[in-house]
């Protein structure tokens, strides 16, 4: 199984890198895990809606260039469907059972994801209506993917 995170921007915080690295190491017995960073579009603080859409589209084009046709894509979106850890684990298990061995998760930039990326996604997932830093979301998502593997393997980790 291959799991890929496509994220906008570079991760600078050492403590987040360390946490992600730890979960990636733990996941290595379950899957091949990798993170692909695409450049974020430089933009001034105050943007018009047209400029915001242009930034999202530019970042969206970069994201879409990293997605292969056969990949099952989860887009992280505030309006996506919330799941419990158990529901998420079950979804991953069903996908792999029915032939989806390439799962891709997309975390957009500070303005969110473009309509074209949301359209390409097979599903949208939300971790609630809180606004979280995109860098922190990488760690939270990586931990939840690891947790899903632990739930599916019957481990007590997740209790």
Give the CATH number of the domain where residue 67 resides.
Answer: 3.40.1280.10
Asked whether residue 48 is assigned to any structural domain, the reply reads: no
- Count CB atoms within 10 A of the CB of residue 111: 17
Asked whether residue 132 is assigned to any structural domain, the reply reads: yes
Tell me the whole-structure pTM to 2 decimals.
0.96
DSSP 152: H
Q: What is the pLDDT of residue 123?
A: 98
Asked whether residue 45 is assigned to any structural domain, the reply reads: no
Q: What is the pLDDT of residue 129?
A: 86
Can you say which residues are annotated as belonging to the binding site for S-adenosyl-L-methionine?
A: 76, 108
Contacts of 48 (CB under 8 A, 6+ apart): none
Separation CA 93–CA 88 (nearest Å): 9
Q: What is the pLDDT of residue 27?
A: 97
Separation CA 159–CA 157 (nearest Å): 6
| 7 within 8 A of 38, measured Cβ to Cβ | yes
Whether the CA torsion 121, 82, 105, 42 is positive or negative: it is positive
Closest C-alpha among 52, 37, 121 to residue 81: 121
Asked whether residue 159 is assigned to any structural domain, the reply reads: no
pLDDT digits (tens, 9 = 90+) for 53-112: 999 999 999 999 999 999 999 999 989 999 999 999 999 999 999 999 999 999 999 899
Asked whether residue 109 is assigned to any structural domain, the reply reads: yes
pLDDT digits (tens, 9 = 90+) for 28-38: 999 999 999 99
Q: What is the pLDDT of residue 158?
A: 67
DSSP 98: T
Domain that holds residue 138: 2-40+54-152
Asked whether residue 158 is assigned to any structural domain, the reply reads: no
Q: What is the pLDDT of residue 38?
A: 98
| 4 within 8 A of 107, measured Cβ to Cβ | no
The number of residues making up the chain comes to 159
3-state secondary structure 24-36: HHHHCCCCEEEEE
Separation CA 76–CA 44 (nearest Å): 24
Domain count, the chain: 1
Q: What is the pLDDT of residue 45?
A: 83
pLDDT, the chain, mean:
95
Report the share of the chain in percent with pLDDT over 70: 99
Asked whether residue 46 is assigned to any structural domain, the reply reads: no
Asked whether residue 79 is assigned to any structural domain, the reply reads: yes
Rg of the chain over Cα atoms, rounded to whole angstroms, equals 16
Can you say which residues are annotated as belonging to the binding site?
A: 76, 108
């Amino acid at each position: 199984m291959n799991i890929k995170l496509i994220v906008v921007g570079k991760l600078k915080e050492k403590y987040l890198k360390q946490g992600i690295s730890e979960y990636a190491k733990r996941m290595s017995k379950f899957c091949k895990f990798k993170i692909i960073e695409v450049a974020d579009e430089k933009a001034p603080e105050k943007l018009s809606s047209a400029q915001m859409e242009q930034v999202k589209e530019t970042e969206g084009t970069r994201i879409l260039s990293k997605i292969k046709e056969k990949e099952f894509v989860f887009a992280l979106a505030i309006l996506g469907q919330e799941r419990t850890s158990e529901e998420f684990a079950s979804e991953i298990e069903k996908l792999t059972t029915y032939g989806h061995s390439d799962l891709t998760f997309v975390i957009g930039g500070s303005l969110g994801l473009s309509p074209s990326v949301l359209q390409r996604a097979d599903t949208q997932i939300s971790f609630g209506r809180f606004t979280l830093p995109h860098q922190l979301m990488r760690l939270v998502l990586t931990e939840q993917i690891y947790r899903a593997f632990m739930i599916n393997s019957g481990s007590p980790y997740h209790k």
